Amino acid sequence: MRLVGKHFGREGARVRKTFVTRALLFAAAVVLPAGVFLSGSSIVTASAKDVEAKEAGTVVGSPRRLRLLTTQQYINTVQYYFGPDIKIDVKFAPLERTDGLLIAGASVAGVSGAQIETYQKVASIVSAQVLSPDRRATLLPCKPKSDKAADDACAEKFLGEVSNYLYRAPLSKAHLAKFVAESNKAATQLNDFYAGLQLALEGVLLSPNVLFVAEREEPDPHHPGQMRLDAHSLASRLSLFLWNAAPDAVLRQAAARGQLDTEKGRAKIVDMMLASPRLETGVRSLFDDMFGFEDFVTLAKDGVIYPYYLGEASGDAREQTLRTVVDQLLTKDRDYRDLYTTRETFVSPALAIIYGVTTPPGWHAIEFPPEAHRAGILTQVSFLALHSHPTRSSATLRGKALRELILCQKVPPPPANVDFSAVNDPKSNFRTARDRLTAHRANPVCAGCHKITDPMGLALENFDGAGQYRTDEKGTAIDATGSLDGKDFSDVDGLSRAVHDNPALPGCLVRRAYSYATGGAVSLNAEPALVELNKNFAAQNYRLRGLLKAIALNDAFSTVSKPVPKPEPKKTASVPLLQVVAENPK
């Protein structure tokens, strides 16, 4: 906002205010029904027709979504088009983690007035950079007849191309004409073609058509009586899924030509997308979301207890695991389950002091030797530090994270009146976490949940709250024995193998990837698709590319069905805390 005001002066500010106010009103007008739609979509029940269709074995798809672009999707979209040097330092309002994913929360998000103000500010900053004197020649497809006057043709060419991209669908002529008219009007008043274009671009960026992904449906000719996403909505869903950004020109052209409507054409496009360098961006985003890495932003460690957890450690820990994911699953095309046993990873100088290794500046590959006990991403700083307290490790938090994030199981929350004194008292006589938790479990109210989380969390006790390896706690040797779903082990290496072999592990990724792909919580009627995808994943020896392709080509990905909500849990006098609610036991 400051950039524009400074550049245009008082008259520019007045012109801009008028135009942007209109854009805001437009946005508000669209947002309101969006909220109604979203609320409705979350409470709608399965129609008898849906149930019958499922029983009859016909295609049951995913709900049509209206969702907000995430911060990273917005940034990727802008930078892929205008260039990575466009600086966007913004964090939109946080999303609510829904069904295990933040991105699923984008489909149940509302927009407040304060958020619109943030969107407006970012739009202003982006448009000012795009139309800055040093970028005009590169980013504009035409040159105006005069820098100081409106130019209808050049404005229409620029705004047409940009709007088609940012709207993720062709813009109607009438709609484009409005933007061009506003651009010309401002250019005339300000005697500056680029200033007019800048205001128009700001308006485009602020459009609800840009900020919201509103999927549209059409009758599915291959499945009479059923609906499917229209081609541009399908292109957007594919692009946000695999690239975490708006579809590029090739994908939009494929949609316009009907290529996505045929099985062969869609497969060709998906193969192209899977071969693109942008796939890494999409995969990083999927796993960053699945692993709950947004919590790194607020992660704090006590500098006295963990002096080796330097300021760079959190960011580097997050990056290390994402690099490992990309290296193992994309570059080396390894079995997804091996991610939990691999000793291959990358280290930075800040992580090197935690891992006890020598490394040059920058990122470098390393394969830990077996005696290092660093097998799999559960033994990386990202998991160990993120699921610990600021001053101590936590077998419970680690076990809970393993259950919920990695195996898609649910651990009931602690009762409100839980007594934490045994675990929180720093002056207690308990020397190890195992001692403290054993005492804590003596309380039957606590025992239920902790039996779910602690046996595998205690196997990670050889790592302190910052992720550094240790053999003892307060001079007492650490007992790292444990069990996971019936498999006993004596140390963290055993835990890694048990996680690798756990049947819920691949199913959880399938579930998360499907939810991520379809942009919302998994509905009950998605079960047939998940079963099919799980079988496919196993048949492909758990290769990520294969899973992504299978999801992208699955009929459920493009077929529109109303969601079936989860049944409300029956209220009983006492909830069995021992129960682990497996969302996807298959």
Partner 1 sequence: MKIKPSTMTSRIALAGLALAVVGGSAAIGADDTMPPGRSIAYAANDIKLSVYQTKDAKDECPHGVNTLGPREQFKLLYPQDAGQKWKFVDTQMGREAEIWWPTLDKAEEFPFIEAEGKTAIGLDLDGKTKPSDFTSPEGKSGVDNQLYRVVGCIMNYRDGASIINSERAFLLGYHFNRLLIELTDVDSLVNDDDVTITTYRGLDALLRDAQGDFQAGGTERIDMRWGGKDFVHTGKGMIVNGVLKSEPMDILVPQQVAFSSAAASTLRGARFDLKLTPAKAEGLIGGYADIESFYRRFNRAWGTHFMSYGQQVPPMVYRALHHLADGYPDPETGDNTAISSSYSVKLVQVRILHAGKEVAETDSQRDARQLAESGTSSPSDAK
Binding site for partner 1 (CB under 8 A): 303-304, 307-311, 346-347, 349-350, 352-361, 364-366, 368-369, 371-374, 463, 468-471
**Which is closer to partner 1, CB of 283 or CB of 322?**
322
Burial of 459 (0-12, 13-18, 19+ CB in 10 A): buried
**Which is closer to partner 1, CB of 309 or CB of 336?**
309
Which residue, among 224, 268, 269, 233, has the nearest Cα to 251 in the 3D structure?
Answer: 269
**Which is closer to partner 1, CB of 250 or CB of 372?**
372
**Which is closer to partner 1, CB of 419 or CB of 472?**
472
Ramachandran assignment for 225, one of left (phi > 0), alpha (psi -120 to 50 degrees), beta (any other): left
Which helix or strand (DSSP H or E) is residue 346 part of? strand 344-347
In whole angstroms, how close is the CB of 359 to partner 1 at the nearest point? 4
- Angle at Cα 510 formed by Cα 258 and Cα 491, nearest 5°? 155
**Which is closer to partner 1, CB of 429 or CB of 471?**
471
In whole angstroms, how close is the CB of 464 to partner 1 at the nearest point? 9
In whole angstroms, how close is the CB of 364 to partner 1 at the nearest point? 4
- Report the DSSP beta bridge partners of residue 428: none
Both tokens of 335, joined, read: 């079995």
In whole angstroms, how close is the CB of 315 to partner 1 at the nearest point? 15
Question: DSSP string covering 199-233, please?
Answer: HHHHHHHTSHHHHEEE--EEE-TTSTT-EEE-HHH
In whole angstroms, what is the distance from residue 167 CA to residue 207 CA?
9
User: In this structure, are residues 504 and 408 in contact, taking their beta carbons and an 8 Å threshold?
Assistant: yes
Radius of gyration, CA atoms only, the chain = 26
In whole angstroms, how close is the CB of 313 to partner 1 at the nearest point? 10
Ramachandran assignment for 410, one of left (phi > 0), alpha (psi -120 to 50 degrees), beta (any other): beta
DSSP code of residue 402: I
Which residue, among 73, 116, 417, has the nearest Cα to 243 in the 3D structure?
Answer: 73
In whole angstroms, how close is the CB of 61 to partner 1 at the nearest point? 47
In whole angstroms, how close is the CB of 463 to partner 1 at the nearest point? 8
**Which is closer to partner 1, CB of 358 or CB of 429?**
358
In whole angstroms, how close is the CB of 353 to partner 1 at the nearest point? 3
User: In this structure, are residues 292 and 401 in contact, taking their beta carbons and an 8 Å threshold?
Assistant: yes
**Which is closer to partner 1, CB of 369 or CB of 569?**
369
Both tokens of 219, joined, read: 């009758």
Q: Is 47 helix (H, G, I), strand (E, B) or coil?
A: coil
In whole angstroms, how close is the CB of 254 to partner 1 at the nearest point? 43
**Which is closer to partner 1, CB of 211 or CB of 354?**
354
User: In this structure, are residues 436 and 423 in contact, taking their beta carbons and an 8 Å threshold?
Assistant: yes
**Which is closer to partner 1, CB of 189 or CB of 341?**
341
In whole angstroms, what is the distance from residue 401 CA to residue 388 CA?
10
**Which is closer to partner 1, CB of 354 or CB of 405?**
354
In whole angstroms, how close is the CB of 459 to partner 1 at the nearest point? 16
Q: How many CB atoms lie within 10 A of CB 175?
A: 14
